C-alpha cells in the first residue's frame, strides 16, 4: 500500500481505540458518528481519505445492532470518499455463536453479518478470537484472525500461575485450551456439557485429573457466567486446589459479575475487546489490554508484513 494510514473509530469502545492510537503514537481520525433526531445513525467523515489505507475500529458489543450499523455506514462513507483500502478492525465479532443452524427455520446470523460487512465495502477484516474459526470462511475477503491465548498465558505466568491444568469447558474449546497448555505448561482437562436451552449449560462429566492442582478454565468469551461457574464448581468437587479462568471477550451479561464474585473462582483474566459493564463487582477481574496486539497487527497489515509472525 502506498496510501497514508488513517484510523477511525465508532462509538462502541472509545477507550480501546484511544489505547491503540497511543501505541501507534498517532491521532485518531476525525469523524462525526451519532444519531439524527429520528433515531437514525449519522456518519460524516471530517478527514480527506482519498487514496488512504483506512482502518475502522468497532467492536460489535452491546448495543450490538447499533454498533453494527455504525460500522456499516462508516465503511460506506469511507468507500464513497475514495479510500484505497478499508480494513474493518472488529475486536469482538457479534453473532458468532449463531454460525450454524441448530434446528429448522433458523438464520445463520454470523454469515449474514459477514455478507453485510463485505457488501458495505470492507476489503479486509482484523478480528480477535472468533467463537468458531469457520467464520473466517464466511468472508470472501482476507481475514486476519488474532489469538489472545498467548497474551493470556503470558500474563498468568507473570501472576505466578504456572504448570496449571488447562481446562476446556466444552469439547469445542479443546484446541484453545491445548494452545494455552502448550504456552503456559501443565496438563489438559476437558469438561463435557450440554445446553438444555439458550444461554444455559449443564456439565455432565470431566476427563482429566485436577486433584491437588491449580486449574485454569480457558474459554473465548464469558456471557452469563453460568458455564464458567458450573465448571469451577465441578473442578472444586474433583479436588482442584485453586481455580482461575482466562477468557478473551468479557461479555458480562445480566448478573454475571455477581455470579463470579460468589463463585469459587479466585481470579478471572479477561481482555478489553469489549468495555466492561459500568456496575458490578470487579475484585476478581484482571484486565489485559489487546491494544498493543491490535496496533502491531494494524502496522503489519499497512506495511504488507506477516501477521502470523505475531504468534510464533
Is there a single domain that holds both residue 271 and residue 282? Answer: yes
Are both 80 and 173 inside the same structural domain? no
Same domain, residue pair 205 and 249: yes
pLDDT digits (tens, 9 = 90+) for 76-93: 999 999 999 999 999 999
Dump pLDDT digits (tens) for 207-223.
999 999 999 999 999 99
| pLDDT more than 70, % of the chain | 95
Indicate whether 92 and 169 sit together in one domain.
Answer: no
Same domain? 12 vs 127:
yes
pLDDT at 157 over 60: yes
- 157 against 199, higher pLDDT: 157
3-class secondary structure, 310: helix
Question: Domain total for the chain?
Answer: 2
Does 274 share its domain with 176?
yes
pLDDT higher than 70, residue 200: no
Task: Using alpha carbons, select from 110, 139, 119 the residue that is nearest to residue 73.
Answer: 119
- pLDDT per position as a tens digit, 247-279: 999 999 889 999 999 999 999 999 999 999 988
One domain for residues 126 and 162:
no
Q: Are residues 70 and 178 in the same domain?
A: no
**CB within 8 Å of 74: residues ≥ 6 apart:** 8, 10, 31, 33, 43, 56, 58
253 and 219 co-located in one domain: yes
Query: Are residues 304 and 284 part of one domain?
Result: no
Residue numbers of the domain that contains 19: 5-148+291-311
Q: The pTM is what?
A: 0.94
Report CA torsion sign: 209, 190, 158, 252. Answer: negative
Task: Cite the DSSP H helix spans in 57-185.
Answer: 64-80, 109-120, 149-158, 174-184
CA dist 25 to 22, 30, 79, 224, 293, Å? 5, 16, 25, 36, 14
Out of 37, 100, 193, 303, the active site residue is 193
What CATH number does residue 231 fall under? 3.40.50.2020
CA nearest neighbour of 114 among 299, 83, 130: 130
**Residue 101 a catalytic site member:** no
Specify whether 184 is located in the same domain as 249: yes
pLDDT in the model for residue 205: 83
Amino acid at each position: 500500500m502506498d496510501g497514508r494510514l488513517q484510523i477511525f473509530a465508532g462509538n462502541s469502545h472509545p477507550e480501546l481505540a484511544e489505547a491503540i492510537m497511543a501505541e501507534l503514537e498517532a491521532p485518531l481520525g476525525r469523524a462525526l458518528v451519532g444519531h439524527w433526531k429520528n433515531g437514525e445513525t449519522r456518519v460524516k467523515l471530517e478527514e480527506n481519505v482519498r487514496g488512504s489505507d483506512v482502518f475502522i475500529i468497532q467492536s460489535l458489543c452491546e448495543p450490538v445492532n447499533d454498533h453494527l450499523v455504525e460500522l456499516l455506514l462508516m465503511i460506506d462513507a469511507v468507500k464513497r470518499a475514495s479510500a484505497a483500502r478499508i480494513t474493518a478492525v472488529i475486536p469482538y465479532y457479534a453473532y458468532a455463536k449463531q454460525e450454524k443452524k441448530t434446528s429448522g427455520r433458523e438464520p445463520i446470523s454470523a454469515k449474514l453479518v459477514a455478507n453485510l460487512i463485505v457488501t458495505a465495502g470492507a476489503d479486509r477484516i482484523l478480528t480477535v478470537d472468533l467463537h468458531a474459526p469457520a467464520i473466517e470462511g464466511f468472508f470472501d475477503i482476507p481475514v486476519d484472525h488474532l489469538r489472545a491465548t498467548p497474551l493470556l498465558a503470558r500474563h498468568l505466568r507473570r501472576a505466578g500461575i504456572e504448570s496449571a491444568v488447562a481446562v476446556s469447558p466444552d469439547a469445542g474449546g479443546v484446541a484453545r485450551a491445548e494452545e494455552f497448555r502448550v504456552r503456559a505448561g501443565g496438563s489438559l482437562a476437558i469438561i463435557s456439557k450440554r445446553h438444555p436451552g439458550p444461554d444455559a449449560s449443564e456439565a455432565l462429566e470431566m476427563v482429566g485429573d485436577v486433584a491437588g492442582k491449580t486449574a485454569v478454565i480457558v474459554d473465548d468469551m464469558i456471557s452469563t457466567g453460568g458455564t464458567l461457574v458450573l465448571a469451577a464448581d465441578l473442578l472444586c468437587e474433583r479436588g482442584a486446589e485453586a481455580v482461575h479462568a482466562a477468557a478473551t471477550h468479557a461479555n458480562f451479561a445480566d448478573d454475571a459479575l455477581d455470579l463470579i464474585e460468589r463463585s469459587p473462582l479466585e481470579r478471572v483474566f479477561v481482555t478489553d475487546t469489549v468495555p466492561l459493564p459500568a456496575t458490578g463487582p470487579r475484585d476478581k477481574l484482571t484486565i489485559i489490554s489487546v491494544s498493543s496486539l491490535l496496533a502491531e497487527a494494524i502496522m503489519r497489515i499497512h506495511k504488507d508484513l506477516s501477521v502470523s509472525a505475531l504468534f510464533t
